A and B are shown apart, each in its own frame.
Chain A
Amino acid sequence: MAELRLIDAINRALHEEMERDERVLVLGEDVGRKGGVFGATEGLYDRFGGERVIDTPLAESSIVGVAVGMAANGLLPVAEIQFADFIFPAMNQIVSEAARMRYRSNGAFGCPLVIRAPYGGGVHGALYHSQSVEAFFAHVPGLKVVVPYHPADAKGLLKASIRDPDPVLFFEHKKLYRMVRGEVPEGDYTVPLGRAVVRREGKDLSVFAYGLMLHEALAAAEEVAKEGIDAEVVDLRTLRPLDKETVLSSVRKTNRALIVYEDNGFLGYGAELAAIIAEEAFFDLDAPIMRVTGPEVPAVPYSPPLEHWFMPDSRRIAEAMRRLAQY
């Protein structure tokens, strides 16, 4: 088993899937000759050629529109949106077309499409290279939304997404690309969509997070462990469909829930999580559900102190853990 970075694991999954099935192809801005602005598609163009690794114009609506057409005609496209911030021109294609294909055709057609997009802040990317967009898509029935944290998951989840018969949005936190390393099994395997995983077992409280916030939550858990607070950290991995069973059984065990997400708090992904816990595990709660989220401003700011103010981090999460444990 090799220790890989998140970006390498994604690259490897793409190589293996394109090798395994010739219907798989990649399209997006700079994904071909350049190998992607982050290097996720490196080596694909040389290996599989311009017919299967397609550099597109700067037009997200067309990238996804073309991919929807490909998917409807038997191909398995993996479209890359260079930054998740740029995904909105493609909103109509994703929500009105891709998400509904199976429903509107009464099951006759699927739309086996993967849209990969780097998201998230903390990289000095400012207003157009830092946003979290998962809540917009997790809202829509017909879409699946995946946010990997561990490199082994990234590989297995991306493979599962490519093989899934329906559209999957695959959001990769760009700060994690070269920050997180982990053992990634060689060869072919998938990690099933819709299953969360407990990254750290604990008994005093449960933290639910994904992406970069999972990383921060794990660091915070180690910090408060020194003070005797034993936090369980759950990596949601797939935001839709949500693995309610893992979430609720963790709450039933610790009786306290902390939800962390980088997106704006109001109506963010964790709002739904909080509602589900309140509805289905009310009599297991010994404290109110708490959240640590990004603040109520339209975008992640550029100035370093302001960006720092925006981004939830392990220190802020640890503070919330202490409050929750003491409640």
Chain B
Amino acid sequence: MPVEVKLPQLGESVYEGTIGRWLKRPGEWVEQYEPLVEVITDKVNVEMPSPWKGRLVQILVEEGRTVPAGTPIALMEVEEGAPQVAPAPEVAGEPSPARPREEARVRLSPLVRRLAAEHGIPEEELTRIPGTGEGGRVTKEDLLRYIEGRRPAPPAPEPRAVEARPAEGDTLVRLSPIRRTIAERMAQSKREIPHAYGIVEVDMTEIVRWREAHKEEWLAREGVNITYTAFIVRAAAEALRAFPIVNSTWTEEGVLLRRSIHIGVGVAIEEGLIVPVIKNAEEKSLLGIARELAELTRKAREGKLTLEEVQGGTFTVTNPGVFGSLLSMPIIVPGQAAILAVDAIVKRPVVRGEAIAIRDMMHLGLSFDHRIFDGAVAVQFLNHIKAKLEGFRADAAAVSSF
């Protein structure tokens, strides 16, 4: 008898996925764990392994369509005696071992579970609802209040896409799944998050000099390039620890301060942009960050990032400076409070004391969610990074102490 293949929950904050390419056609035989379909979430492709051994009978969700986790996406004919309910397929990159089970398990009444399902609220989100019942249990009333609050108050007019009439000779480039995902997430962010901006200027001369002098030697010794991005991620991690409010998420119940500091770093790839995440960045040394960056960038360009490597970010660093941008105002990744833009380092005449000096200057810009904090915090946060970078001293312990 045919069984349903459901889109698995692909990570703790991932509620939906876009079907990329079906790797099997109806009628084809599929081994268990054999890649069945490409799923695009969070700007990454993953290949979903087949939960069963059997024959693909019918595809229920066509390529390019986005559906919530748990939606049946295909029917499979499985062998007699095969378990009707297979364990949720382990998607490559599922953050499996680290998540403490007790924390993830929520005690919910049958009613709350049903209402949550009807309103499309995943269990992870339910854990964030403050419960007023016995032992902090989420009651029906808590959930209904939450659902009420999360609904946008006035029915905003549907934002309509500008109508485009093709003229003679125009070419329509169909959206790739990744392009569509980026488009939706960026539009969502701009619709929902009131963006505000702050920009500071950083004197990178010391770092530039040290790097120019040592990069060959460093590469030979450590086997990895030391990039400016590594310095900035390192400095940002420290600043995030000093300003926990910047490492947070807006919810209707309040601002959720994230304990872990996971910094996403934008990497341009052929199809668009991908943001691998350096987990627990505040615990890592400059060398550690440099290594991880190199590895993630390589994987990004080869299309080999796993889902785990691109999700869970609590803050993002984007680096339009590599293309020469001097002042950038990036869009916040939904679910985060801010994004740091690193612009190009350029030699500029600046005033030092009573003299004019030629220094390596760089702009650091912060786009932030103005619901969560205000300009004062944003600039203090930027200045924290600036002080760290300008405080770099090219001595023997320069790198290990940075």
Residues of A bordering B, CB below 8 Å: 255, 282-287, 326-327
Contacts and interface: CB of A to CB of B under 8 A. Distances in A.
Interface size class of B (residues with CB under 8 A): 10 to 19
Given A286-B139, A286-B140, A255 B134 contact: no
B109 A285 contact: yes
Contacts of B114: 283-284
Nearest to A283: B114
Contacts of A327: 133-134, 137, 139
A286 B113 CA distance: 9
A285 B111 contact: yes
B133 A255 contact: no
Contacts of B137: 327
A31 B16 CA distance: 75
Given A283-B113, A286-B139, 4 more contacts: A282-B110, A285-B110, A286-B110, A327-B133
Contacts of B140: 255, 286
A284 B133 contact: no
7 contacts: A255-B111, A283-B113, A284-B111, A284-B114, A285-B110, A286-B112, A286-B139
B313 to A, nearest CB: 35
Interface string B111-142: 11110000000000000000001100101100
A326 B139 CA distance: 9
A166 B109 CA distance: 42
Secondary structure of the A contact surface, majority rule: loop
A326 B137 CA distance: 10
Nearest first, the 5 closest Cβ-Cβ pairs linking A and B are: A286-B111, A286-B140, A283-B114, A286-B109, A283-B110
Contacts of B109: 285-287
A284 B113 CA distance: 10
B133 A326 contact: yes
Interface in B139-185: 139-140
Contacts of B112: 286
A78 to B, nearest CB: 45
Contacts of A255: 111, 140
A287 B141 CA distance: 12
A326 B131 CA distance: 11
Given A255-B140, A286-B139, A286-B140, A326 B134 contact: yes
Contacts of A287: 109
A290 to B, nearest CB: 12
A192 to B, nearest CB: 31
A282 B113 CA distance: 11
Interface string B27-39: 0000000000000
B158 to A, nearest CB: 33
Contacts of A284: 110-111, 114
A285 B111 CA distance: 5
A113 B109 CA distance: 45
Contacts of A282: 110
A276 to B, nearest CB: 15
A140 B249 CA distance: 60
A286 B140 CA distance: 6
Contacts of B113: 283
B123 to A, nearest CB: 16
Interface in B84-99: none
B168 to A, nearest CB: 59
Contacts of A286: 109-112, 139-140
B116 to A, nearest CB: 11
Nearest to B132: A326
Interface in B286-301: none
A326 B134 CA distance: 6
A287 B139 CA distance: 8
A123 B73 CA distance: 66
B49 to A, nearest CB: 32
A283 B111 contact: yes
Interface string B225-256: 00000000000000000000000000000000
Contacts of B134: 326-327
A22 B380 CA distance: 98
